[in-house]
A and B are shown apart, each in its own frame.
Chain A
Amino acid sequence: MDKGIVVYQQTKNTGEKVMATYWHTTKRQNLTEKLKEIEASFEDCAIVKAYAIVKGEGAFVLLNSRKEAEKTLLHNTLIIYSEKTVNSYESLLGELDFSHAVFISAESKTADIEKKLISGVHGAKECHFVVVKDIQ
């Protein structure tokens, strides 16, 4: 089935979540195609599928190999998408079998110098969360 796609939040530079940039499709569009289109609009961008998105907060990403970890952590822009949404990451810890996982709620940031918030220390400088929903 074709999927519609909705970006429900984006974080950029401030560390504060901004409700922004909704990628909508008005017509039915293939999910893979849409993701590719988004990827192309950023430089040095990784698209990662999360196990689930915690509503309004971030994404729970399973990392079961070094490769998956590198992909998730080493690019300038990170786009995380998932079709599953949950209310908290805690519920996943008990039931889910994984080696490593990371809950990502924003871009890599620091306030270590003068307590001023700077984005992009070692991980992604920009981070987008995409909730994939059916368009009936």
Chain B
Amino acid sequence: MWWSKIFNENVYRATTKTVEKKHRIFNEKNIQKMIPQCVEKRKTSLENAEDLWGKAKEGFEKEGIKVFFAKSPEDAKKFIASRLEKNELIIKGKSLTTEEIRLRQFLEKEGHEVVETDLGEWIIQQRNELPSHFTAPAIHLSAEQISRMIKEKFKVKIKDDINELTDFIRKHLREKFLNATCGIIGANFVTATPPTIISVSNEGNVSLCARLPRKLFIVTGYDRIYNDTKGIEKIQKVLTSSATGQYYTSYIDFIKKPLPHQKIFLVILDNGRRKLLESEFKETARCIRCASCLNICPVYREVGGHLFGKIYHGGIGSLLTAFSGNMKDAEKIADLCLRCGSCEPECPMEIPIASLVANLSSNFELPIYLKLPLKMLKGANKHPETKRKNLIFIGCAFRTTLLKKAYKKIKSFAERLNADILEEGCCGMPHYYKGQLEESEKRIKNLERIFENYSTIFIPCSSGYSFLKEKFGDKVRLLSIELALRAESGITPEKGIYLYHLPCHLKHLKNFNEKNELKKVLKIKNWESEDRCCGSAGTFWLTHPFISRKILSRKKQNNDDLPLITSCPSCYIQLKRVFKNVKHTSEVFD
């Protein structure tokens, strides 16, 4: 189960390794440079999805591939069932789309033998579990658990050795491949001109499922369409590099028409995708299911996929589920989302996941325990008496006794920054991420009226800064950076060596690096845990204390006991639980 140590360690180790591999290949092959073009191609293709599918259908049918548009999961299942004879032996490649509609379970009930042929998916099928990851479904299991399962189920002697396990599964499935009467695979890309179905894989199972049986169903989402093959290799590289750190997978399959012995059916599943494309959440549809966001998600890394309850996990999972499933399940998934935005810089399709989840949250009931606290966070009403050119907006977080020192320090800079002080008031961020969009908007409007009178606004809180930066642009500045800039003129940086904690909300700001600016005037020692989430995330530490604490425990303690600095008051409070010496960035200037 998700809370067992072995489960946690398997997931944590696997995700860490995948992220490392991804970053390595991104550096080596300069994948980042390919991304803008790929996103553009994806956008234009999705905008014209209806026409492109029309074109593709016409082309495929000319070549003898039967195309079927399934509005609902039931439509898809009925269509497939109607084309099958009795008791078929079906070999299946891994496909999230078929998991989405529970196709295997349905066909089994209809009396067919369905065999998952992807190694991870086969293991999951034997254990009767849900996949716990988009691309590596058995990520939560150890070799020891898998060999135990095989021993019990197949009554064979087998060691915990991964080579031996793989060999057993190879032999076991070879016979299925050769005798199967029907194959089912997914598709990663479908191009309209020329009409081509493209599927990436490493094991070779997809290639076999697609060629050996006399009947082939290709089940794919309505969102998998691309205009043409120009640039498709780049998108493949972006997908495989992001998902597994591979420039190419071992096999990339292309299908244009049936083989002589074959009948091919292409089933295109809508199941909420058209609605998604017309909604304010349409950017979600760009998702290529690479799972980069899951591999970096502080919560996913601790708990794996099963706790989310459905096949789509993490922030992106709540968005996908809202359209392909229902709002109630989406709400449950979103409850586990920190809204930290760590996933956004990792997403190769540039989906603004955190802010889309915030918008989606407006459909959810606000939990009872949040109603009062959010109400109490009032907007700024009082104008400070305008005397100076600039303003320091302290915000709501520094009023607790824990941050008293920082609070005093911030105020002490007012004169030197030629700034008035706005003490009271909430920026609206807590409301925004809980889906209270109107309440959030009200608070921003209040600030707008006050900010009008000033040329620059300094904000000591990194969360508030990242939030208001989106609304006010360069007019708002992070106080720590301003202090570092003025280190020569009236502001003195403290001597000493520091460790730095990067708040998640600063991660998704483009061309912004607080640490680099601070490093110009402070001695900051590199630290392997500096960009790891602390698990605080506003109210998450209150609502999910167990998971929050697990996330925090991943931040490695330093032996030399150096002071740890951060600009986020929420992180500050969380870090205080385990680190002796934590300081707000304002405290290291004088």
CB distance from B131 to the nearest CB of A (A): 11
> Which of A15, A105, A112, A121 has the most B CB atoms < 10 Å from its CB?
A112
Q: Is the CB of A69 within 8 A of B250?
A: no
- A85 interface hit (Cβ, 8 Å): no
Contacting B at CB under 8 A, from A74-95, are: 74, 88-90, 93-94
Q: Is the CB of A110 within 8 A of B233?
A: no
Q: Is the CB of B212 within 8 A of A66?
A: yes
What is the bound-complex CA distance between A101 and B253, given in angstroms?
A: 6
Q: Is the CB of B253 within 8 A of A102?
A: yes
In-complex Cβ contact of A112 among B17, B136, B167 (8 A): B136
Q: Is the CB of B204 within 8 A of A113?
A: no
- B120 interface hit (Cβ, 8 Å): yes
Q: Is the CB of B250 within 8 A of A90?
A: no
Q: Is the CB of A113 within 8 A of B138?
A: yes
Contacting A at CB under 8 A, from B1-20, are: 10, 13-14, 17-18
Query: Which residue of chain A has the shortest Cβ distance to B248 in the bound complex?
Result: A105
Contacting A at CB under 8 A, from B440-498, are: none
What is the bound-complex CA distance between A63 and B141, given in angstroms?
A: 36
Task: Take A112-B118, A115-B13 as given contacts and tell me if A100 and B259 are in contact as well, using a CB distance cutoff of 8 Å.
Answer: yes
Interface-forming stretch among B48-56, B158-166, B267-275, B321-329? B158-166
What is the bound-complex CA distance between A111 and B165, given in angstroms?
A: 12
Query: Which residue of chain B has the shortest Cβ distance to A100 in the bound complex?
Result: B255
Contacting B at CB under 8 A, from A84-136, are: 88-90, 93-94, 97-116, 118, 120-124
Q: Is the CB of A123 within 8 A of B139?
A: no
Query: Which residue of chain B has the shortest Cβ distance to A70 in the bound complex?
Result: B212
Task: Take A120-B166, A122-B177, A122-B204 as given contacts and tell me if A113 and B259 are in contact as well, using a CB distance cutoff of 8 Å.
Answer: no
> Which of A108, A121, A122, A123 has the most B CB atoms < 10 Å from its CB?
A122
Q: Is the CB of B233 within 8 A of A90?
A: yes
A residues less than 8 Å from B142 (CB atoms): 114
- A14 interface hit (Cβ, 8 Å): no
In-complex Cβ contact of B17 among A57, A93, A110, A115 (8 A): A115
Q: Is the CB of A108 within 8 A of B203?
A: yes
Q: Is the CB of A66 within 8 A of B259?
A: yes
CB distance from B208 to the nearest CB of A (A): 6
CB distance from B480 to the nearest CB of A (A): 38
**Interface digits, B151-187 against A, CB 8 Å rule (1 contact, 0 not)?**
0000000000011011101100110010000000000
In-complex Cβ contact of A69 among B146, B211, B256 (8 A): B211
B residues less than 8 Å from A115 (CB atoms): 13-14, 17-18, 136, 139
- B257 interface hit (Cβ, 8 Å): yes
In-complex Cβ contact of B248 among A58, A66, A118, A121 (8 A): A58
- B367 interface hit (Cβ, 8 Å): no
What is the bound-complex CA distance between A15 and B13, given in angstroms?
A: 20
> Which of B123, B203, B212, B254 has the most A CB atoms < 10 Å from its CB?
B254
Task: Take A99-B256, A100-B210, A115-B17 as given contacts and tell me if A88 and B233 are in contact as well, using a CB distance cutoff of 8 Å.
Answer: yes
Q: Is the CB of A99 within 8 A of B259?
A: yes
Q: Is the CB of B203 within 8 A of A113?
A: no
In-complex Cβ contact of A66 among B118, B123, B261 (8 A): B261
A residues less than 8 Å from B13 (CB atoms): 114-115
> Which of B166, B202, B260 has the most A CB atoms < 10 Å from its CB?
B202
CB distance from B33 to the nearest CB of A (A): 16
Task: Take A100-B254, A114-B162 as given contacts and tell me if A93 and B123 are in contact as well, using a CB distance cutoff of 8 Å.
Answer: no
A residues less than 8 Å from B208 (CB atoms): 69, 73-74, 122-123
A residues less than 8 Å from B191 (CB atoms): 93
- B309 interface hit (Cβ, 8 Å): no
Query: Which residue of chain A has the shortest Cβ distance to B202 in the bound complex?
Result: A109
What is the bound-complex CA distance between A88 and B233, given in angstroms?
A: 8
Q: Is the CB of B232 within 8 A of A105?
A: no
Task: Take A109-B250, A114-B13, A115-B139 as given contacts and tell me if A122 and B205 are in contact as well, using a CB distance cutoff of 8 Å.
Answer: yes
Q: Is the CB of A123 within 8 A of B251?
A: yes
- B143 interface hit (Cβ, 8 Å): yes
- B544 interface hit (Cβ, 8 Å): no
> Which of A63, A100, A118 has the most B CB atoms < 10 Å from its CB?
A100
- B529 interface hit (Cβ, 8 Å): no
A residues less than 8 Å from B138 (CB atoms): 112-113
- B102 interface hit (Cβ, 8 Å): no
Contacting A at CB under 8 A, from B227-264, are: 228-233, 244, 247-262
What is the bound-complex CA distance between A121 and B174, given in angstroms?
A: 10
Task: Take A73-B208, A112-B119 as given contacts and tell me if A99 and B196 are in contact as well, using a CB distance cutoff of 8 Å.
Answer: no
Q: Is the CB of B256 within 8 A of A110?
A: no
- B194 interface hit (Cβ, 8 Å): yes
A residues less than 8 Å from B120 (CB atoms): 110, 112-113
Query: Which residue of chain B has the shortest Cβ distance to A104 in the bound complex?
Result: B251
CB distance from A113 to the nearest CB of B (A): 5
- B436 interface hit (Cβ, 8 Å): no
A residues less than 8 Å from B137 (CB atoms): 112
What is the bound-complex CA distance between A109 and B115, given in angstroms?
A: 19
In-complex Cβ contact of A124 among B204, B212, B247, B261 (8 A): B204
Q: Is the CB of B230 within 8 A of A113?
A: no
Q: Interface residues, chain B, CB within 8 Å of chain A?
A: 10, 13-14, 17-18, 117-120, 123, 136-139, 141-143, 146, 162-163, 165-167, 169-170, 173-174, 177, 191, 194, 196, 202-205, 207-208, 210-212, 228-233, 244, 247-262
**Minimum-distance CB pairs A-B, first 5:** A123-B204, A112-B120, A69-B211, A90-B233, A121-B203
Mind listing 23 A-B residue pairs with CB under 8 Å?
A65-B261, A66-B259, A69-B259, A73-B204, A89-B233, A93-B194, A93-B196, A99-B257, A100-B259, A102-B251, A102-B252, A103-B248, A104-B250, A105-B251, A112-B118, A112-B120, A113-B166, A115-B14, A120-B166, A120-B167, A122-B203, A123-B203, A124-B204
Q: Interface residues, chain A, CB within 8 Å of chain B?
A: 15, 57-58, 63-66, 69-70, 72-74, 88-90, 93-94, 97-116, 118, 120-124
Q: Known pairs A99-B255, A101-B254, A103-B248. 9 more at Cβ < 8 A?
A: A73-B207, A74-B208, A101-B253, A105-B251, A108-B202, A109-B250, A114-B10, A118-B163, A123-B207
